[in-house]
Amino acid sequence: MGLEGRDTAGQPRTALPPTPNGSGPSLEFGDHWPEIPERSPCVAGIIPVIYYSVLLGLGLPVNLLTTVALARLTARTRKPSYCYLLALTASDIVTQVVIVFVGFLLQGAVLARQVPQAVVRMANILEFAANHASVWMAVLLTVDRYSALCHPLHHRAASSPGRTRRAIVTVLSAALLTGIPFYWWLDMWRDTDPPSTLDKVLKWAHCLIVYFIPCGVFLVTNSAIIRRLRKRCQSGPHPRVGKSTAILLGVTTLFALLWAPRIFVMLFHMYVVPVHRDWRVHLAMDVANMAAMLNTVVNFGLYCFVSKTFRATARQVIHDAHLPCMPGSRPEGMVVEPVQKPLGVPKGAEL
């Protein structure tokens, strides 16, 4: 995310109100960047700070619960789809911590951007790496479901826990490597000069890596999956859509919808009017960033809606977490010591 939007939280409230010069595109677009002295005001005010605080306060515990539930399902079933969902959730947690907490809240709202430039650039690497990992874990899940439905024999022969782990490690390593060039990412909120060639390359690379290429993969594989399901529907009386397939279609659809505004506004900023010159583009970028970050917390609701097994596992995790804290669950002052169970005690008779 490049910590964009942090100026929204940390920007001084001395911005001028919208003026005719700063509220709409100039007629002089042949000069690419119109000469407008005023800086667009932050019309969203404190709303992004409240939004990201709620998003982090609710989303982080929810993702931790999702991680524990998926870890139990992975250990119980050893299905590759659960492994990919677990890695996807872990990537979402890192995204929330690095982008939402460190970027938007800590650096933007608390420190008001009084941070050394080298620290900001190193944070950019972590942000983009976490973002790339989260997106491409969904791509791995898509390819796995495509292989399972369209090439079942090959999937059964090639699928193994070791192969799944290697695929996850490869994606995480590639995400970290592709995040390194974004050390030179320029802050869109302070771009007063026309974008350089490097700036354009990085922004297009961001759009391709996190949206256009993954969405292309989603479109091709999901279309093949849907065609295969329709063939089954025509040949069988009671076609059944697997839970993993339903989750896949939901995850990819939500991603495409929630990330589309950010990509559109970024290209609009680069080729039409910059964020810092037009308050409407400024507001659109704020809203687009908030929608993109919402993608890190909505998957829990999707899993609960689709999978009864996941709901039961999540409920059991909550029950196990609250059980030691229940009053009266252990007599006061009682110390539990490990003892050897005597032979012949029926199963379930011991405490």
Kindly report, residue by residue over 173-232, the tens digit of the pLDDT: 999 999 999 998 876 655 566 677 888 899 999 999 999 999 999 999 999 998 888 887
Q: pLDDT tens-digit profile of 120-172?
A: 888 889 999 999 999 999 999 999 999 988 888 888 888 888 899 999 999 99
Q: How many CB atoms lie within 10 A of CB 351?
A: 3
Q: Vertex 301, ends 84 and 140: CA angle to 5°?
A: 20
First to last CA, the chain: 52
Q: What is the DSSP string of 145-202?
A: HHHHHHSHHHHHHH--HHHHHHHHHHHHHHHHHHHGGGGGPPPGGG--SPP-HHHHHH
**Percent of the chain having pLDDT more than 90?**
44
The larger pLDDT score, comparing residue 322 to residue 339, is at 322
Residue 280: the pLDDT is: 84
Residue 345 has pLDDT above 60, yes or no: no
Of 211, 185, 206, give the one whose Cα is nearest residue 196. Answer: 185
Per-residue pLDDT of 50-84, as tens digits, reads 999 999 999 999 999 999 999 999 999 888 889 99
Residue type for 341, please? K
Residue 112: which region, alpha, beta or left (left: phi > 0; alpha: psi -120 to 50)?
left
CA dihedral in degrees (150, 152, 157, 163; nearest 10)? 60
pLDDT value of position 218: 95
Complete domains list, the chain, with CATH: 46-322 (1.20.1070.10)
* Residue 342 pLDDT greater than 50, yes or no: no
Which tens digit of pLDDT belongs to each residue from 264-292? Answer: 998 988 888 777 677 888 888 889 999 99
Q: What local confidence, expressed as pLDDT, does residue 323 receive?
A: 66
pLDDT of residue 242: 74
Cβ(288)–Cβ(1) below 8 Å: no
Tally of residues, the chain: 351
Q: How large is the average pLDDT for residues 14-29?
A: 39
- In this structure, the dihedral spanned by the alpha carbons of residues 104, 106, 110 and 114, taken in order and rounded to 10 degrees, is -90
pLDDT of amino acid 44? 63
